[in-house]
Amino acid sequence: MPHSNKIRVLLIDDDEDDFIITRDTIDEIPGRNYVLEWTASFGEALELIKQEKHDVYLVDFRLGAHDGLELISQAVEGGSLAPFILLTGQSDRETDEKAMRVGASDYLVKGTFDPFSLERSIRYSVEHAKSMAEIHKLNSELEQRVDERTRELGEAVKKLEETNRSLYEAQVEIRKALQKEKELHELKSRFVTIASHEFRTPLSTVLSSASLIGKYKATEDDEKRQKHVERIKSAVSNLTTILNDFLSISRIEEGKIYNVPTTFDLKDFTAEIVDEMQGLVKIGQKIHYQHSGPETIVTLDKQLLKNIILNLLSNASKYSGEGKQIYIDTAVNSTINLSVKDEGIGIPDADKVHLFTPFFRAQNVTNIQGTGLGLNIVNRYVDIMDGSLTYESELNEGTTFRITFPIHPITA
């Protein structure tokens, strides 16, 4: 906006007569507070409007090839906030409305306005434009403040979300820890119950056999004595197995079992274990071992693997009758594969879901000895070795356990 005290008026009109008339009218305004400039060119007018040297524009409706409405709308689109007063040759409501719509602040009919009405229109328009500029400024300040607040709010929301997320994560962690604690507690209490029960049977065998041995004093009782010595041995060996299983599970629980792979010949290794077990199976049972394919070298944790094989073979023998055959197969392809198959009692469908739960024993085991820990240990060892275990079982037909290990082990 210009800074002089006088109000600078630009007349945009292609008719010089109009300029002279307007100038005379303005000159008659008391106080002579106005400076009038004139341009007849549409283009120049737009340029001058851009320079913001004037306080108010009087725009003729007719401007050669263009018209005043066009000029006003282009100027307003270009961002001008100055007041435009449209001058027309005749009074008509439609032009008036159009003028207002494109952004003119007033509308005067040529030849009808006197110095007083011109002065009044200019004064009102200038005041109105000032108010509009003020509103515009306030609006943009407001917009800026809203933007700032929105940004601040956005940041606050983001921080809240972060806090929320970490709280949620903490909650998940705590829940996990609690769940683990609960499981451990349940396991411990089951341990105590089962241990007292499992230990009582072999211990009472030891006790009764020991006291009977004390009674068989004669030489001819040697056979009976020997029988009870064997019973004691077997009971003690049972106790040792149970204790070892307990120890294994508690070491797994404590995270103390590590996968330590070494490279060895799987075929030789398995054959040795099978030899070891061959002497421990029931009468007429035989373990058949077969390795398929030329590749025999693997990288696995030997100790964990041996434990797995022993457990599966011992189950195969234990849950099969005398004279039944047991098959163990190994192969090394894109994975390392091991399967143990028996012709035993099988696992009832209803029991399958619980098979790997510690202390679980299927309902068809009747009086076959066992603690229900072996498969839990097998399953966890397979897991530690990054392998996977599946099985299929048909009641009274037999059971097959299959284990797959990756060729390249991960170490922990």
Binding stretches for ligand ATP (CB under 6 A): 245, 315-316, 319, 342, 344-347, 355, 360-362, 365, 370-376, 399
Select 5 or 366, whichever has its Cβ closest to ligand ATP. 366
Residue 314 Cβ vs Mg ion, minimum distance, rounded to whole Å: 6
Q: How many CB atoms lie within 10 A of CB 129?
A: 20
The entry of ligand ATP, Mg ion, none near residue 372 (CB within 5 to 8 angstroms by kind) is ligand ATP
Query: What tokens were used for 276?
Result: 């070891």
| CA 409 from centre of chain | 28
- Pick what 22 binds: Mg ion, ligand ATP, none; C-beta below 5 to 8 Å, kind-dependent: none
What are the Cα distances from residue 5, in Å, to 32, 34, 50, 55?
11, 9, 21, 11
Secondary element (H or E) of residue 297: strand 297-300
Report the partner that residue 68 touches, choosing among Mg ion, ligand ATP, none (CB closer than 5 to 8 A by kind). none
**342 contacts which partner out of ligand ATP, Mg ion, none, CB within 5 to 8 A by kind?**
ligand ATP
For residue 124, the tally of other CB atoms under 10 A from its CB is 14
How far the first Cα of the chain sits from its last, in Å, is: 78
* Residue 374 touches Mg ion, criterion: CB under 5 A: yes
Residue placing its CB nearer to Mg ion in the complex, 85 or 338: 338
Nearer to Mg ion, 315 or 393 (CB): 315
| Residue 345 interacts with, from ligand ATP, Mg ion, none (CB under 5-8 Å by kind) | ligand ATP
Nearest residue to 12 (alpha-carbon basis) of 101, 80, 91, 92: 80
| Residue 260 in tokens | 């330590």
Shortest separation between residue 395's beta carbon and ligand ATP, angstroms: 9
- CB of 398 or CB of 409, closer to ligand ATP: 398
Q: Which stretch binds Mg ion (CB under 5 A): 85-93, 169-177, 250-258, 315-323?
A: 315-323
Phi first, then psi, for residue 44 (nearest 5°) are -60, -40
Rounded distance, CA 215 to CA 209, Å? 10
CA dist 111 and 94 (Å) reads: 19
Subset of 23-82 contacting Mg ion (CB under 5 A): none
What residues line the site for Mg ion (CB under 5 A)? 315, 374
